[in-house]
A = this chain, B = another copy of it.
Amino acid sequence: MSSAIYGDKRVDNLKIAYIGGGSRGWAWGLMSDLAAAGDLSGCVDLYDIDFEAAKANEVIGNKFNDLPEAVGKWTYTAKRTIGEALTGADFVIISILPGTFDEMESDVHHPEKYGIYQPVGDSTGPGGIIRALRTIPMFREIARAVRDYCPKAYVINYTNPMTLAVAALYKEFPEIRAFGCCHEVFGTKYLITRMLKEHRGLTVQREELVSNVIGVNHFTWLTDLTLHGEDLFPFYAEAIEKQEAKLNEELALVDNNWVKIAGSTHDRVKYDLFKRYGVMAAAGDRHLAEFCEGSWYLESPEMVQKWGYSLTTVKWRKEDLEKRLARSARLQSGEEAVKISNTGEEGVKQMRALLGLCDLVTNVNLPNVGQIPNLPMGAVVETNATFTAGGVRPVMAGPVPPQILNLIARISAEQQMVLEGAFEHDLDKVFAAFCNDPLVRLPLAEARKMFDEMIENTKGYLTEYFE
Contacts and interface: CB of A to CB of B under 8 A. Distances in A.
Interface of A: 2, 4, 6, 11, 208, 210-212, 224, 226-229, 272, 275-278, 293, 295-296, 354-356, 359-361, 369-371, 373-374, 376, 384, 386, 388-391, 393-398, 402-403, 405-407, 409-410, 413-414, 416-417, 420, 429, 432-433, 435-436, 441-444
A139 B373 CA distance: 29
Nearest to A417: B402
Contact of A406 (B293, B397, B414): B414
Contact of A407 (B212, B373, B436, B443): B436
Interface centre among A2, A228, A397, A420 (most CB of B within 10 A): A228
A395 B296 CA distance: 36
A444 B373 contact: no
Given A228-B389, A272-B444, A406-B413, 4 more contacts: A295-B442, A296-B441, A386-B386, A406-B414
A192 to B, nearest CB: 14
A410 B438 CA distance: 12
A389 B229 contact: yes
Given A398-B369, A416-B402, A229 B441 contact: no
Contacts of A407: 436
Copies of this protein chain in the complex: 4
B276 A356 contact: no
A373 B370 contact: yes
Contact of A356 (B229, B397, B413): B229
A442 B295 CA distance: 7
A277 B432 contact: yes
B370 A406 contact: no
A403 B432 contact: yes
Contacts of A376: 374
A360 B444 CA distance: 38
Interface centre among A354, A393, A420 (most CB of B within 10 A): A393
Contacts of A414: 406
A405 to B, nearest CB: 5
A413 B417 contact: no
Contacts of A403: 417, 429, 432-433, 436
Contacts of A390: 210-212, 224, 226
A267 to B, nearest CB: 15
A355 B229 contact: yes
B402 A409 contact: no
B420 A228 contact: no
B406 A410 contact: yes
A409 B371 CA distance: 19
> 10 tightest A-B contacts by CB?
A406-B410, A210-B390, A295-B441, A403-B432, A6-B228, A406-B413, A370-B370, A226-B390, A370-B373, A210-B389
A388 B388 CA distance: 16
A212 B227 CA distance: 29
26 contacts: A2-B229, A4-B229, A6-B229, A226-B388, A226-B390, A228-B356, A228-B389, A229-B355, A275-B444, A276-B444, A278-B432, A295-B295, A295-B441, A359-B361, A369-B373, A369-B398, A370-B370, A370-B373, A374-B376, A384-B393, A386-B386, A386-B395, A393-B396, A402-B416, A406-B406, A406-B413
Given A406-B413, A417-B402, A226 B395 contact: no
Contact of A402 (B369, B386, B395, B420): B420
A361 to B, nearest CB: 5
A11 B407 CA distance: 40
B275 A389 contact: no
A309 to B, nearest CB: 15
A429 B417 CA distance: 31
